[in-house]
Amino acid sequence: MASLRPQPALAANTGHVIVVGAGLAGLVAAYELQKAGWQVTVIEARDRVGGRVTTVRSPFTGGQHAEGGGEYIDSLRVHRQMHRYVRAFGLQLEPVNRIPNQGIYYLQGQRFPLSNQGIEDTLGGQVWQDDDRFWDELQVLAQTLTDLDHPERAPKAAELDRIVLSRWIEQLEQVPLARTLTEQYLRGEYDDPEWLSLFFLVQQAALYDQVPDQRLEMYRIRGGNAQLPQEIARSLTRPVVLNAPVTEIKQTALGVEVTHEQGQVSGDFVIIATPLPPLRTVRFDPALSPDLQQAIAELNYGSHVKVISQFSHRFWHNQQTNTVPTITDLPLGFVSEATANQPGQSGILTAYVSGKYGRQLAAMVEGDRIQTALAQLEEIYPGAENSLMAAKSYVWAHDPWVGGSYSAYGPGQMTTLWPALRRPYGRLLFAGEHTDTYIGYMEGAVRSGQRAAAILQKSRPLASID
């Protein structure tokens, strides 16, 4: 196979970049490059922009909506770039409205306040102490990671990366309910602990070190998160090419050729801003490096399912109490309200089901999936079944252009695959939440698009293909 040797990068502002994928990562990369004077063509497999950011309006009534994918934005201190683009495109944020000391645990069939004190008063102090001990032990490991852009350089990074998270949890010897809470949290945020690398969680803990809980998951975009990718797409000079799944990406000494189901486009560079599973059907010429091939074939993705239900009235709160959000030891794991700042008597609850429980739901047909979740909601909130108006589920593992919810690095993957995905490969770059420090977040997608655009704006040779 012929090699492509380093070629001088084109002078800034004179090249044509092809962006594969019109989610937040691809659109931000295109937007930033266009601002810098580059020609940009964005190609998208779906019939819409936004990728995993999609606002669900049907089958709900009264103008109410919920988020089928990416949902929460942290405080300005944490998710700086999401705040920046929301402002730049004239959009507004609204609080998720998680009031401190509101919400409940539903554990072992009992309801009690969503706090450590609630756990201690109801189940005893050992449960929350053991749950806290998990985080304390994790934070000790996180202190060894000082360069978030190169976590693979941390002391014992490779050793920690080989450790399966569930095995590390076992040696903590938590009491059973504390371990259930720990595993439910990890499952809801990422995946089952047996699928996760300990070092991946260390990286996440280091990233959020010193960030208080009240600064997390604070906002959504008023009117729906899908507005942001839609506005970015409208700002592009060239319309996004929709319904155009890519079938081949070819690099030559002179540029790149991208073949899709509607034709072919040539350019100087290509940014691949899609989740990795869909790339398994794309032909690369020349072949990608072994690490990149492994990442595409094996990178672990979560199995989150959202079951979104509209009810005739908001039985979960009154003037005295608010039982949402709810954390539970039932398979559905976590429940939040999508409509806290939307008008109307009706309201929408979103149940998050993930890990092994998400895979079980995903294997069901839509009606059974909804009924299974509704039965658990009925257990937590008696009378819920009689108030149901409409429901819809989102199973991202079934989406052929995603193949999972978001990346959750497995054992051995964080120190090998993550660095490989961040390096240019000839005239090809990768972007997406899986390539950023904010793995799994809309913030990570946005930052990765910025990063890819910045690399291309530097006038220097890109990596060779050997």
Does position 11 have pLDDT exceeding 50, yes or no?
Answer: no
Does position 396 have pLDDT exceeding 90, yes or no?
Answer: yes
CATH of domain 16-51+226-299+408-457: 3.50.50.60
Closest C-alpha to 92, from 227, 217, 206? 227
Q: What is residue 462's predicted lDDT score, i.e. its pLDDT? A: 52
Q: What is residue 371's predicted lDDT score, i.e. its pLDDT? A: 98
Q: What is the mean pLDDT of the chain?
A: 93
pLDDT, tens digit, 9 for 90 and up, residues 298-348: 999 999 999 999 999 999 987 667 889 999 999 999 999 999 999 999 999
Does position 4 have pLDDT exceeding 90, yes or no?
Answer: no
Q: How far, CA to CA in Å, does 348 sit from each of 34, 222, 335?
A: 39, 15, 10
Does position 226 have pLDDT exceeding 90, yes or no?
Answer: yes
Which part of the chain has CATH 1.10.405.10? 104-215
Mean pLDDT score, 108-137: 93
Q: What is residue 102's predicted lDDT score, i.e. its pLDDT? A: 82
Q: What is residue 322's predicted lDDT score, i.e. its pLDDT? A: 83
Which part of the chain has CATH 3.90.660.10? 55-98+217-224+302-398
Does position 6 have pLDDT exceeding 60, yes or no?
Answer: no
With cut-offs at 50, 70 and 90, classify the pLDDT of residue 97: confident
Q: What is residue 101's predicted lDDT score, i.e. its pLDDT? A: 57
Q: What is residue 251's predicted lDDT score, i.e. its pLDDT? A: 97
Q: What is residue 7's predicted lDDT score, i.e. its pLDDT? A: 42
- Report whether 2 contacts 286 (CB < 8 A): yes
Alpha helices in 247-403 (DSSP H): 290-298, 355-362, 366-380, 384-387
Does position 215 have pLDDT exceeding 90, yes or no?
Answer: no
Q: Which residues contact 368 (CB under 8 A, 6 or more apart)?
A: none
* Radius of gyration of the chain measured on its C-alpha atoms: 23
With cut-offs at 50, 70 and 90, classify the pLDDT of residue 10: very low
Mean pLDDT score, 274-280: 98
Structure token pair of residue 140: 């000790």
Alpha helices in 195-326 (DSSP H): 198-207, 227-234, 290-298
Closest C-alpha to 67, from 87, 91, 96? 96
Q: What is residue 174's predicted lDDT score, i.e. its pLDDT? A: 97
β-strands 283-285, 246-251 pairing? parallel
β-strands 66-67, 55-56 pairing? antiparallel
Which part of the chain has CATH 3.50.50.60? 16-51+226-299+408-457
- Report whether 155 contacts 140 (CB < 8 A): no
Does position 386 have pLDDT exceeding 90, yes or no?
Answer: yes
With cut-offs at 50, 70 and 90, classify the pLDDT of residue 39: very high
Structure token pair of residue 12: 């800034």
CATH of domain 104-215: 1.10.405.10
Percent of the chain having pLDDT more than 90? 89
* Orientation angle between helical segments 355-362 and 176-189, nearest 10 degrees: 60
Q: What is residue 415's predicted lDDT score, i.e. its pLDDT? A: 98
Q: Which of 75-79, 103-107, 148-152, 212-216 has the lowest mean pLDDT?
A: 212-216
CATH class of the domain at 55-98+217-224+302-398: alpha beta
Q: Which residue has the higher pLDDT, 128 or 82?
A: 82
Mean pLDDT score, 436-455: 97
